[in-house]
């Protein structure tokens, strides 16, 4: 039984499920973030307040953290196993044709992880009282951060990398879950492309607008 639950295929299955859950969460997060574009801080702050206090969201939050943890742990674990599968490498770089960004998931994923840590430091830790700041006014926290050019640039780079990650992630998840075939493959690829552009662009627009106006 253990063999089945912890086979490489099962691990990938869990990773894909976790990844898809995270993919669902991103648009929700984006929706709230887009309220930052309003000059009135109220809608954003109340949305943030709702997210922080509504009991059902609390449950989802725990689930979210667990998902992130599983996705990352399994990702790293599989990656190590994969590196060990080829102890002696090639002298000439492998030029086999591959799907875009598919070979760099550990690196794009890793970058997103670093951003996540910074993000937690900036917002979540305020909520927990670990870092100084007003948990009832994330609107101003966000505006302050985005007005730092270095932060905005880092933010953009991370979302660019996230886009790369997402493009392969979405189609790969379908493939791993066994939901791809000759007919659906191009459809899934198109959806992946739209998603991988729309979501990061949506996030990236915010500091841009803040800068310009």
Partner 1 sequence: MKLKLKIWKQKNAAAKGRFETYDLDGVAPEMSFVEMLALLNQTLIQQGREPVAFDHDCHEGICGSCGMYINGYPHGPVKGLTTCLLSMRHFKDGETIVIEPWRAKPFPVVKDLIVDRSALDKIQVAGGFISVSAGAAPEANALPVRKHNSDLAFDSAVCIGCGACVAACKNASAMLFVSAKISQYALLPQGRPEAKERVRAMIAEMDKQGFGSCSNTGACESQCPKQIKLFNIARLNREYYKAL
Who contacts 28 (Cβ-Cβ below 8 Å, separation ≥6)? none
Are 72 and 113 in contact, with CB atoms under 8 Å apart? yes
> Considering the rule CB under 8 A, would residue 108 count as an interface residue with partner 1?
no
Q: Which residue has the tokens 């574009």?
A: 37
12: Cα within 13 Å, side-chain hemisphere: 14
Segment contacting partner 1 by CB under 8 A, of 40-48, 78-86, 139-147, 190-198: 78-86
46 or 102, CB closer to partner 1? 102
132 or 182, CB closer to partner 1? 182
Q: Choose, by CB under 8 A, the member of 91, 117, 186, 212 that binds partner 1.
A: 91
Distance, in Å, from the CA atom of 213 to the CA atom of 206, rounded to the nearest integer, reads 11
Segment contacting partner 1 by CB under 8 A, of 37-45, 63-71, 176-184, 198-206: 176-184
> Considering the rule CB under 8 A, would residue 12 count as an interface residue with partner 1?
yes
Q: Choose, by CB under 8 A, the member of 9, 56, 117, 212 that binds partner 1.
A: 9
* CB of 65 vs partner 1, minimal distance in Å: 25
Q: Choose, by CB under 8 A, the member of 14, 30, 105, 210 that binds partner 1.
A: 105
> Considering the rule CB under 8 A, would residue 81 count as an interface residue with partner 1?
yes
Distance, in Å, from the CA atom of 116 to the CA atom of 118, rounded to the nearest integer, reads 5
Segment contacting partner 1 by CB under 8 A, of 59-67, 87-95, 113-121, 133-141: 87-95
> Considering the rule CB under 8 A, would residue 4 count as an interface residue with partner 1?
yes
> Considering the rule CB under 8 A, would residue 56 count as an interface residue with partner 1?
no
Which residues of this protein are in contact with partner 1, per CB under 8 A?
A: 3-4, 7-13, 78, 81-82, 84-99, 102-103, 105, 168, 171-172, 174-182, 185
């Amino acid at each position: 039984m253990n063999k089945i639950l912890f086979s490489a295929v099962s691990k990938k299955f869990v990773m894909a499920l976790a990844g898809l859950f995270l993919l669902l969460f991103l648009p929700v997060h984006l929706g709230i973030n887009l309220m930052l574009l309003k000059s009135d801080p109220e809608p954003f702050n109340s949305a943030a307040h709702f997210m922080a206090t509504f009991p059902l969201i609390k449950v989802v939050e725990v689930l979210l953290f667990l998902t992130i943890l599983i996705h990352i742990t399994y990702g790293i674990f599989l990656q190590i196993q994969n590196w060990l599968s080829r102890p002696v490498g090639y002298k000439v770089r492998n030029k086999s044709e591959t799907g875009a960004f598919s070979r760099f998931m550990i690196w794009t994923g890793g970058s997103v992880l670093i951003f996540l840590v910074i993000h937690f430091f900036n917002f979540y830790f305020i909520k927990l009282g670990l870092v100084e700041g007003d948990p009832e006014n994330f609107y101003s926290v966000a505006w302050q951060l985005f007005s730092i050019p270095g932060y905005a640039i880092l933010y953009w780079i991370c979302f660019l990398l996230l886009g790369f990650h997402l493009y392969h992630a979405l189609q790969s998840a379908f493939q791993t879950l066994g939901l791809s075939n000759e007919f659906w493959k191009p459809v899934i690829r198109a959806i992946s492309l739209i998603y991988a552009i729309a979501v990061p662009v949506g996030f990236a627009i915010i500091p841009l607008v803040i800068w310009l106006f």
